[in-house]
Every structure is written in C-alpha cells, then in structure tokens.
Amino acid sequence: MKNFLFFHVIPLLLAIFLLFSMSSKMNIFLASDVNTAQEEQNFRYIPNFLKDNKIFENQFLMSGNDAETIFLLGSSELTSGEEALPFNFISNYYTTKIKGIGHDGNQCFSIYSQLLANENRLENAPIVIVLSPIWFVSKFSKGTTSSLFLEFNSSKFIENILNINNNSELTPFKKYEAKRIGDFYTEILNPDNNLKRLFLEGQSSKSIGHKLVYYPVIKITEFCNILKQKLIGSCNNKNSIDISVIRNPIIPESVYISWDSLLFISQQEQINLSSNNSWYIDSGYYNQYIRGKMRRLSIVNEKNNRELEDFYMLIKLLRAKNAKASFIIIPLNPYHYTNLEEFTPIINVLETELKNNQFPYLNFWNTDTATYDKGVLADIMHLSKYGWYQVNKFIVETYHLAQ
C-alpha cells in the first residue's frame, strides 16, 4: 500500500496542484505544441506517428477525397524504398491509392491498437497487413515492445479506446487492450494520463478488491484529463481525430499491366543481383551478413506465443467490424534457416484462422529449397522487387482495381 500511495496517489495530487498553480501559462504552452502544418498534406508512406508524422493521424483509415485509399500495415518490409512497394507502384497507376505505415517492431498488438482506436473507421475499410514470421519466434513472440507501441499509439488514440462504451460489443477488445498494456506498463517512463487510466482500468477489473483500491485513483486521473482539456480549450480542436468516415467505392479502371512479363523480368533481375551466391540473396547483403552462414529459428509454441494471441484478437476485431482486410505471409529464406519445417505449424495456424474468417491472403511460405520461388526475397526475410510485384498483383485482384 505504501508503494501504491507513493507511485500513484501522491504524483496525481501533485499534478493537480501544479495544473492549478500554472494555469495562467498553460494555455500558451499547450498551444505552442499544436502542429500548424496543413492537414491536407498527404503521404504515401510513414514509419510511425511521431514528430512531423503526427499530423497524419487524422488520415489514418480515411477514404480519399475523390477515391478510396487502401492502407498497408507492416514492419521492416515497408522500409526498403523499393519502387515496387504497393504505395509506390499501385499509387502510380491507379486512382485508388495505397498508404503504407510501419517499420521494424510494428507487430500485431501495435496494429490491433491502432485499429481499435479508429474502430468507427473500420467498417468496409480496405486494409492489407503484412505478417512476418519473425514476429512469432524468439523474443519477438513476446509481442510489441513498449517503445514501439508508443511510436504508433498516441495519447489521442488511447483516449479513443478509453471512450469505448464498457457495455458495447467492443468491451472485450478494450479489456484486452488494457490487459496487454499492463504487460509492459512498468517499462514506460512518465506515462500520460490516458495511458495511465487505461492501465488502471485494466488493474481494477481483476477483482472487487482491485476495484476498491484503484477506483479513487482512476477518478483523480479522469479529473486531471478534464482539467487539461479545459486548459487547452480550442487549441486542441484542430488536432482532434474525427473517427467517422464515408468510404468512397473502388471503381475498376482500364489499366493494363502485363503481370507475366513484369514478374519474369523482375525475377531474373533478382537472380542476377545474387551473382556471388546460390541462395538468391543480393550480393552485397550476402557478403556483408551471410557468407554461407546458416541458423536455426528459436521456435515458441502456440501456448506460450503472445504474438499469436495478439494475432487472434486482431482477426476478431477485423471480423467484428467487417473490415475488408487481407494478409500477406512473408517467407523466410530456406537456404539460410535450417529448421523452417518446425515453424510450419504456426504458419498453418495463421492460414487456418484467415480461412475460417474469410480474409483473402497471399502465402509465400515455403521450406523446400527445391520448390522455393527463386528470387522472391532480396535477403533472408524481406521481399525483393519480384516478391512485391506478386503482392501488387494480389492487391489489384483482391480489391478489383482493374477492369
């Protein structure tokens, strides 16, 4: 109890005192934090919602002004700058645009949280999620880290989740959000009031005893939020997230792309780029990192795989909100990894879940070097131009972009 008072109650009381004592200067301080960049500014790809990218929060899952927008969510696969990435390739050829969001570490729970925060935009929203097998092995199977979570889930996103009615169909999703934040909450230095409230709500739901202990702290935190909003006043209005959206239809266009030719040429190009090895890895990458070295995946079983649990909840959320989601399952290089067949059961679980929920998917997984799609990867885990053109074709066909 002493620690509880020291770490929770006393800091909150001090915060209230400081808010009142500094209220005359607070408006100026908070107003200066408002990003004045024009929100109509557009983007094709951003790695996260930090700093200058924060102005794009309002565009998340939004339809375009004149045409639909498909959102591509993933991790390090999206960072290569490759011209064949869908937010480059498809956006160049079609009226329907692709927006990409993510970098390494943007795993299932981070994506789940972003979508839950914008649940009123999810219905019929076209979303493509790139699943990396690496998320489900070794330390990554523990799920999204606290630092990465904060890059993609702002205080405003957390506030949206807090505002979900506790008696709605989304209540189980809100509870899961609070539970998962509780898994890494102690790692976060100086969490803001919205994050603190969600954590405290999760703790209070554990038992009647927890509820009695945490109830006054939750109420004090809520009061601090109300006071902050009053101090901010109209300064924050221009940054508020409108969580409703009217979706534009995807209208098939008369765009002809010779996919067979494009795939053949790009495959040969990747094979030529791997002139110093027979693993079809870019020569420079092979020289610097591989040089014939092999490794084993550290397999984590389904029971102890938190990332897999996050995946299940992500699928449930997308199904509950009738999102037009599709998935890409990335392969790993079978020449480099020697025990991929041991990981196949996890891939089968992913595939079964997608099938059962009728989400379209493109599965690149292959453990056999004899039938491996040569050149589909540029290294040991990231798609080459040839691989991305296959993804583009899948997206065009899945969302009926072409006539």
Mean pLDDT across the chain, nearest whole number?
Answer: 87
Q: Mean pLDDT check: name the lowest of 172-186, 201-215, 332-346, 362-376.
A: 201-215
Confidence tier at 217 by pLDDT (50, 70, 90): low
Question: Which percentage of the chain shows pLDDT scores above 70?
Answer: 80
Residue, of 230 and 185, whose pLDDT is higher: 185
Tell me: the pLDDT tens digits for 81-119? Answer: 999 999 999 999 999 999 999 999 999 999 999 999 999
Condensed to tens digits (0 to 9), the pLDDT of residues 245-255 reads: 789 999 999 99
pLDDT band at 340 (very low <50, low <70, confident <90, very high): very high
Sign of CA dihedral 325, 328, 329, 330: negative
The Cα 229–Cα 341 span in angstroms is: 54
Q: What's the half-sphere exposure (Cβ side, CA atoms, 13 Å) at 129?
A: 27
Residue 378, pLDDT above cutoff 90: yes
DSSP string, 93-133: H-SSEEEEE--TT--HHHHHHHHHHTGGG-TT-EEEEEE-G
> Does residue 177 surpass a pLDDT of 70?
yes
pLDDT of res. 26: 43
pLDDT tens digits along 33-49? 444 344 446 899 999 99
Q: What's the pLDDT score for residue 367?
A: 98
Q: pLDDT-based confidence at 173, cuts 50/70/90?
A: very high
The answer to whether residues 107 and 75 touch, using CB atoms and an 8 Å cutoff, is yes
Terminal C-alpha separation, the chain: 66
Farthest CA pair distance, the chain? 72
Return the pLDDT at 375: 98
pLDDT at residue 30 greater than cutoff 70: no
Tell me the pLDDT band of 341, cut-offs 50, 70 and 90: very high
What is the reported pLDDT for 206? 64
